[in-house]
């Protein structure tokens, strides 16, 4: 149900404002954003829809269709339900910008898969902020929305994320990837190689350690930068400069440096096979140097990589389970899924196709 119909069903009146925002899949540039590096995401067709109406009451009321749950809160204290923290964070961060907020009824409906690394939280943040912008006629541009969404997540949901997800949800389209320098925020669109298309598959493995593992990786990168005497790993000139680091930090930093180089190389790729080879190398680096893959994910990615109509495949998002993305021969996604999913299931995994929806 769209947010408007869902809103009416829950709150008995239509919303005053509505907005949507997509999830994203990152094609290359993983764990580079908080190191001021390069990323290459693209929006996915699935969206989160938010509706809002001033309620004239003493508290905000938030209904999440996915949980069939309504929570009430004020801006003085975070709501107990974790899902509500993203919306609460957006409201609080907007209020901190000097915007007077009266209590609202808010309805959220989403078909962005949750907890698989496709940025359902950023889609929620960006849709919430877009809806607030529409409701209150706020002078916020799409980059400011991305910054506010990131702040909401860092300060109120406990993940020290970079800007990748919110920028992708706020600015990327579904037909071209968005090459972005996360330091300067310079960006440009990059078409997928001719004749290729994307397949996104959920490994079925929940991302249980994602938040703690993510924050730990980020801290390791910051420590490596400190030891090297640079503001961020973006400033390290070459791989040789990493030689003096302790082994673990050297591996983490090596992933970041090589991944940045892969993003820039991919942006100039003409042939799908070359782009795909960079994705394969990215997966190996995330597995071996960054240690954010899992045995099940490695198995699924290997099965995809071995398929003749797959040009490259890698885990996508923070890792620790979740989804992977493959660059495929256009139109072959359903056939690839029919070959790979049963082979994965035979080894004990339950995968499902997330993009394109018709290949599921």
C-alpha span between 160 and 250 (Å, rounded): 21
Name which of 146 and 310 has its Cβ closer to ligand GLA: 146
C-alpha span between 200 and 353 (Å, rounded): 6
Q: How far is the CB of 246 from ligand GLA (least distance, A)?
A: 23
Helix (H, G, I), strand (E, B) or coil at 226: helix
DSSP 159-221: ----SHHHHHHHH--SSEEEEEETTT--EEEEEPPTTEEEEEEE-S---TTHHHHHHHHHHHH
Instruction: Give the burial string for 71-107 (b: 16+ CB within 10 Å, else e).
Output: bebeeeebbeeebbbbbbbbbbbbeeeeeeeebbbbb
Give the nearest residue (CB) to ligand GLA. Answer: 161
Name which of 103 and 317 has its Cβ closer to ligand GLA: 317
Name which of 34 and 60 has its Cβ closer to ligand GLA: 34
Q: How far is the CB of 157 from ligand GLA (least distance, A)?
A: 10
Q: Beta partners for 61?
A: 72, 105
Residues constituting the chain: 360
Q: How far is the CB of 30 from ligand GLA (least distance, A)?
A: 4
282 phi and psi angles, rounded to 5 deg: -60, -45
Q: How far is the CB of 259 from ligand GLA (least distance, A)?
A: 9
For residues 336 and 313, the answer to whether their CB atoms sit within 8 Å is no
Name which of 109 and 161 has its Cβ closer to ligand GLA: 161
Please confirm, yes or no, whether 165 is among the known catalytic residues: yes
Residue written as token pair 């003749």: 308
Name which of 26 and 94 has its Cβ closer to ligand GLA: 26
- For residue 333, what are its two tokens? 């996604």
Q: How far is the CB of 190 from ligand GLA (least distance, A)?
A: 17
Residues of the shown chain interacting with ligand GLA in the complex, contacts defined by CB under 6 A:
26, 30-31, 33-34, 161-162, 164-165, 317-318
Q: How far is the CB of 41 from ligand GLA (least distance, A)?
A: 9
Of 165, 202, 274, 289, which one is the catalytic site residue? Answer: 165
For residues 83 and 73, the answer to whether their CB atoms sit within 8 Å is no
Residues known to be catalytic:
165
């Amino acid at each position: 149900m769209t947010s408007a119909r869902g809103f009416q069903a829950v709150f008995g009146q239509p919303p005053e404002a509505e907005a949507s925002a997509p999830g994203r899949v990152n094609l290359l540039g993983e764990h580079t954003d908080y190191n001021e590096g390069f990323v290459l995401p693209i929006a996915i067709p699935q969206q989160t829809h938010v509706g809002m109406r001033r309620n004239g009451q003493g508290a905000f009321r938030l209904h999440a269709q996915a949980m069939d749950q309504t929570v009430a809160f004020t801006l003085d204290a975070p709501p107990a339900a974790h899902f509500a923290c993203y919306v609460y964070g957006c409201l609080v961060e907007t209020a901190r910008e000097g915007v007077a907020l009266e209590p609202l009824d808010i309805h959220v409906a989403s078909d962005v898969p949750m907890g698989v690394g496709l940025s359902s939280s950023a889609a929620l943040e960006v849709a919430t902020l877009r809806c607030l912008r529409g409701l209150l006629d706020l002078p916020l541009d799409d980059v400011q929305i991305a910054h506010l969404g990131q702040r909401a997540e860092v300060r109120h949901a406990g993940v020290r994320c970079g800007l990748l997800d919110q920028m992708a949800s706020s600015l990327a389209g579904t037909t071209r990837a968005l090459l972005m320098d996360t330091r300067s925020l310079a960006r440009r669109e990059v078409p997928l190689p001719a004749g290729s298309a994307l397949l996104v598959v959920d490994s079925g493995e929940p991302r249980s350690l994602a938040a703690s593992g993510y924050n730990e990786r980020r801290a390791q990168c910051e420590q490596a930068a400190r030891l090297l005497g640079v503001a961020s790993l973006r400033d390290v000139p070459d791989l040789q400069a990493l030689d003096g680091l302790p082994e673990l930090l050297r591996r983490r930093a090596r992933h970041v440096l090589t991944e940045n180089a892969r993003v820039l190389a991919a942006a100039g790729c003409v042939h799908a096979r070359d782009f795909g080879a960079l994705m394969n190398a990215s997966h190996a680096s995330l597995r071996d140097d960054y240690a954010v893959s899992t045995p099940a994910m490695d198995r699924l990615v290997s099965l995809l990589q071995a398929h003749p109509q797959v040009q490259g495949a890698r885990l996508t998002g923070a890792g620790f389970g979740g989804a992977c993305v493959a660059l495929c021969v256009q139109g072959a996604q359903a056939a690839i899924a029919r070959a790979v999913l049963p082979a994965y299931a035979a080894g004990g995994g339950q995968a499902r196709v997330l993009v394109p929806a018709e290949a599921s």
